Homo-oligomer: A and B are copies of this chain.
Amino acid sequence: MRKRMIHAINDALFEEMERDERVILIGEDVGASIFGDTRGLLDRFGPDRVRDTPISEAVMGGMAVGTAAAGYRVVCHLMYANFIYTAFDAIANQASRLRLMTNGQIRLPVVFMAAGGGGRSNAGQHSDYPHAPVASLGGIYVATPSCSADAKGLLKTAIRTDDPVFFLQPTSRGGEMGDIPEGDHTVPLVSAHVARQGDDVTIVAVGAMLRIATRAADALAEEGVSVEIVDPRTSYPLDEDVILASVRKTGRLVVVDEARAAGSVANHISALVCEKAFSALRAPIIPVTTPDLAVAYSPPLEKAMIPGPEDVVAAVQRLIKETGQ
């Protein structure tokens, strides 16, 4: 079945709310649904389980925690990922740590979902891809789907998980089509995926960057460079084994992440590989990220900031040149 990512997400919500009546959804205008991902849920499940909230991210975030602690599975839709900052106290000081602080008495099946990343001239306050600050908390899974199938599969798993998950859908990819397996398709949370087999260099590509990496790999194939692409699928925790295995095979690594360098998981992946697969490394690890700035509005500026296939190609070429093929 081919579907747009946004519809895959919609299906996941439908199926999980159908499957478990303790799943509820809260968020601003989740009824009208700006993105289309929550469309139809209010009609189907009614205003008890699908709640349009006021613009009050602070209480929304904490309410999600409280409702979950009291027995529900809560999906808290925060719209644009920058608004997790507005809800950050609840996410950081409560959601990420009540499990530890109560010695496991409280488990929190909460999914914070939001759309992140640039590409649409939404400018500085609507274009962050803030997986690193959430990952920094240590107690929240960060799911970074790159395609329709994973968006559906990861979200379904996230809703069934007893710990908080930040589900970060790529703003620029909602309309993209992709194949989705039939039936109850789920994807485990810490399960990186080798999206393309190759021998010369590993590219780890997060979220929307998978397509960029694929384009770069196509171009590089024409030059005779064989690229392996790994999609981490959750950027926290990382599926270390899959990433390390790929680097052990190729000996070279480029990490492509739409987040700012200082807010990327490129650093985490670099650190992981440099600690645990150092002897396999034949070349420096090259991060390809957005510069350390808020995303600018004007299309040429925005385009220049966010990694594109040519940036990835250049990084790979640099590696090959520095080490020979």
Contact = CB atoms under 8 A, between A and B. Distances in A.
B101 A92 contact: no
Interface residues of A, number: 55
A274 B285 contact: yes
A286 interface: yes
Given A260-B138, A271-B266, A274-B270, A96 B285 contact: no
Given A85-B92, A124-B97, A263-B135, A286 B294 contact: no
B101 A263 contact: no
Nearest to A58: B58
Interface string A202-246: 000000000000000000000000000000000011000000000
Interface string A135-175: 11111000000000000000000000000000000000000
B271 A275 contact: no
Interface stretch (A19-27, A36-44, A111-119, A276-284): A276-284
A190 interface: no
B278 A283 contact: yes
26 contacts: A82-B92, A85-B89, A86-B89, A88-B92, A92-B128, A101-B124, A101-B125, A101-B294, A130-B136, A132-B132, A135-B262, A135-B263, A136-B136, A136-B259, A136-B262, A137-B262, A138-B292, A138-B294, A267-B267, A267-B271, A270-B271, A271-B285, A274-B284, A274-B285, A275-B285, A275-B286
A125 B100 contact: no
Contacts of A86: 88-89, 93
Contacts of A293: 97, 100, 138-139
B260 A270 contact: no
Contact of A284 (B100, B275, B287): B275
A130 B267 CA distance: 16
A236 to B, nearest CB: 6
B97 A125 contact: yes
Q: Count identical subunits in the complex.
A: 2
A320 interface: no
B97 A263 contact: no
Interface in A62-108: 82, 85-86, 88-89, 91-93, 96-97, 100-101
A58 B278 CA distance: 44
Contacts of A283: 278
Query: Nearest 4 pairs between A and B by C-beta?
Result: A136-B263, A138-B292, A270-B271, A97-B294
Contact of A275 (B82, B133, B262, B270): B270
A138 B138 CA distance: 21
Contact of A133 (B89, B97, B125, B133): B133
A196 interface: no
Nearest to A263: B136
A194 interface: no
In this complex, which of A124, A271, A292 has the most chain B Cβ atoms within 10 angstroms of its Cβ?
A271
